[in-house]
Amino acid sequence: MPKLVDHEERRRELGEAVWRVIRSRGVDSASIRTVAREAGWSPGALRHYFTSQSELLTFAMQMVVERIEARLSALDPPADPRRAVEQRLHELLPLDEERRAENEVWLAFAARALVDPRLRAPHEEVDEELRRAARATLEELGSAGRLRPGLELDLEAERLHGLLDGLALHTAMRPNRMSPEVIRSVLARHLDSLDPDEGGR
Amino acid sequence: MPKLVDHEERRRELGEAVWRVIRSRGVDSASIRTVAREAGWSPGALRHYFTSQSELLTFAMQMVVERIEARLSALDPPADPRRAVEQRLHELLPLDEERRAENEVWLAFAARALVDPRLRAPHEEVDEELRRAARATLEELGSAGRLRPGLELDLEAERLHGLLDGLALHTAMRPNRMSPEVIRSVLARHLDSLDPDEGGR
């Protein structure tokens, strides 16, 4: 009786199945068939939600965005603006198993967008969202007097976004090369280099 | 009479055909069939060189490395060490059509390595090569007194490598978003931030 079932509830249920498959078998194993089996649905029922692996990946990417947003709004930001910015940026970086899985979805989604024109627009949206987040953190540092004077914000946003995505790419490609400690230190060093109080070390 | 034909000559010929296909139709169109047609070979003859698209991509990636090495060794470096470093790093960045094509091969190769375990080792090799290059440029700046004292070289190498690959990723994903001018400026700004003479702007 699918009509009696709340659509959002089914979507959430589906999302959890997608996530369990990704966590246990990796994003490339998340096919319509494996997700249907995990959710206990028929592949036919699943096809009401998505008809190809590209759509499934787009769905998984939407979940990543929702998960990050939920974590960001649940944060209890420290008073120090530099620490607050750092805490938020940590939510975007692959610093634990959960965020590594999200990061792998992001890279698989981007890699698919390279060859599937239908994913270009959703990919651009995510990409712009991240660039805006990079810029917003710089503006926040600026308002708090924690940004060296005279910096070009557009350029700094490109640089910060480039660094964040470079670190994410490196971690997704070679999960065991850089420790979470090193990733945090690289970001901290970058923020130090923008901070007038840190003397540009 | 394949035995009479010089192997290196055939490999070069093949490389050029791969490259023409990549430039005219994109890296995803570079299948064994299209490359064989472009080279005027039979698909069977081509299979003496590679048996899958993964091998073809590995071959294309080797070509990218060789092309970059050839350009680097043909450079006429300026006397100023900062300019010399910048000139070399520019050869790695997607600043013109040729380097954009190379960059797309790199990303396609990396994306394939995510799902094809046989590409992991060749990908790691390329990745290590780039990390060594990032570190070597920092050491060169250090020897020339153009690196702020007290920097942790390992961390700075991760940061520079992360930034370079982030810029490369962003350009491959969205070729028209950032101009070559902006890419150069982001790199210049990063090198400025490491330079004691630039006052950490």
For the segment A74-122, what is each residue's pLDDT rounded down to a tens digit?
Answer: 999 999 999 999 999 999 999 999 999 999 999 989 988 888 888 999 9
Quick check: is A98 in a domain?
yes
User: What is the pLDDT, as a whole number, of residue A191?
Assistant: 96
| C-beta atoms of B186 and A123 within 8 A | no
Q: Is A57 among the domain residues?
A: no
Domain of residue B64, CATH code: 1.10.357.10
Q: Which residues in chain A are closer than 8 Å to B57, comparing Cβ atoms? A: none
* CATH code of A14's domain: 1.10.10
- Quick one: B38 and B15 in the same domain? yes
**One-letter amino acid for residue A90 of the chain:** H
Q: Is A185 a domain residue?
A: yes
A58 in a structural domain = no
Across the range B122-147, mean pLDDT stands at: 95
Interface test with chain A among B127, B130, B131, B186, by most A beta carbons within 10 Å: B186
pLDDT in the model for residue B27: 82
Distance between B180 CA and the closest CA of chain A, angstroms: 13
Distance between start and end Cα atoms, chain B:
64
Same domain, A81 and A165: yes
* pTM (two decimals): 0.91
Task: State the nearest Cα–Cα gap between A118 and chain B, in angstroms.
Answer: 14
CA distance A21 to chain B (A): 16
| pLDDT value of position B3 | 59
Residues A4 and A88 both lie in one domain: no
Contact status, residue A58 vs residue A146, Cβ threshold 8 Å: no
Using CB atoms, pick whichever of B127, B150, B189 lies closest to residue A155.
B189
* Chain B: residue whose CA lies nearest to A121: B174
CB-based contact A200 B123, cutoff 8 Å: no
A170 lies within 8 A of chain B by CB = yes
Tell me, yes or no, whether A91 and A136 share the same domain. Answer: yes
Residues B37 and B93 in one domain: no
Q: Does A93 touch chain B (CB under 8 A)?
A: no
Query: Of B51, B70, B89, which residue sits at a domain end?
Result: B51
| Token pair listed for A85 | 């910015």
Determine the pLDDT at residue B16.
Answer: 86
Residues A98 and A169 placed together within one structural domain of the fold: yes
**Comparing C-alpha atoms, which of A175, B96, B40, A144 is closest to residue A183?**
A175
Are both B47 and B62 inside the same structural domain?
no
Q: Which long-range contacts (CB under 8 A, 24 or more apart) does B40-49 make?
A: B41/B14, B41/B17, B45/B2, B46/B14, B48/B2, B49/B11, B49/B14
Q: Which of B60, B56, B32 is nearest to B44 (CA)?
A: B32
Mean confidence (pLDDT) of chain B: 91
| Residue linked to tokens 């006052």 | B199
Residue B125 and residue B47 share a domain: no
> What secondary structure does DSSP assign to A97-152, as a single string?
HHHHHHHHHHHHHHHHHHH-GGGHHHHHHHHHHHHHHHHHHHHHHHHTT-S-TT--
B185 touches chain A (CB under 8 A): yes
Mutation pick from A159, A161, A164, A192 vs chain B, by most beta carbons of B within 10 Å, is A159
User: CA-to-CA distance for B50 and A152, rounded, in angstroms?
Assistant: 48
* Residue A170, domain member (yes or no): yes
Please indicate whether, in this complex, the C-beta atoms of B170 and A174 are within 8 angstroms of each other: no
Residue B178 reports pLDDT greater than 80: yes
pLDDT digits (tens, 9 = 90+) for A19-53: 888 888 888 788 899 999 999 999 998 888 888 88
In the predicted model, is pLDDT for residue B148 greater than 60? yes
Domain limits at B17? 1-51
Do B135 and B161 belong to one domain?
yes
Asked whether residue A47 is domain-assigned, the answer is yes
For residue A56, being part of any structural domain is answered with: no
The domain tally of chain A equals 2
For the segment B43-47, the average pLDDT, to the nearest whole number, is 90
A98 with A149, same domain: the answer is yes
Domain boundary residue among B35, B51, B67?
B51
Residue B71 contacts residue B98 (beta carbons within 8 Å):
no
Collapsing DSSP to helix, strand or coil, B63 comes out as: helix
pLDDT of residue B201: 42
Does residue A116 lie in a domain region?
yes
Contacts of B28 in chain A (CB under 8 A): 114-115
Q: CB–CB of B153/B139 below 8 Å? A: yes
Query: Are residues B116 and B63 located together in one domain of the fold?
Result: yes
Residue of A159, A169, A172 with shortest CB distance to B190: A159
Q: What is the DSSP secondary structure assignment for residue A85, as one 8-state letter?
A: H
| Interface contact flag, A185 B155, Cβ < 8 Å | yes
Residues B65 and B22 occupy one common structural domain = no
What is the four-CA torsion angle of A93, A94, A95, A98, rounded to 10 degrees? 120
Distances (CA, A) of B103 to B16, B110, B168: 17, 11, 7
Q: What are phi and psi of A117, to 5 degrees?
A: -60, -25
**Mean pLDDT, range B120-141, rounded to an integer:** 95
Q: Supply the pLDDT for residue B40.
A: 93
**Taking 50 as the threshold, does the pLDDT of residue A201 lie above it?**
no
Strand, coil or helix: A84: helix
Whether A127 and chain B come into contact, CB under 8 Å, resolves to yes
The predicted model gives B88-113 an average pLDDT of 93
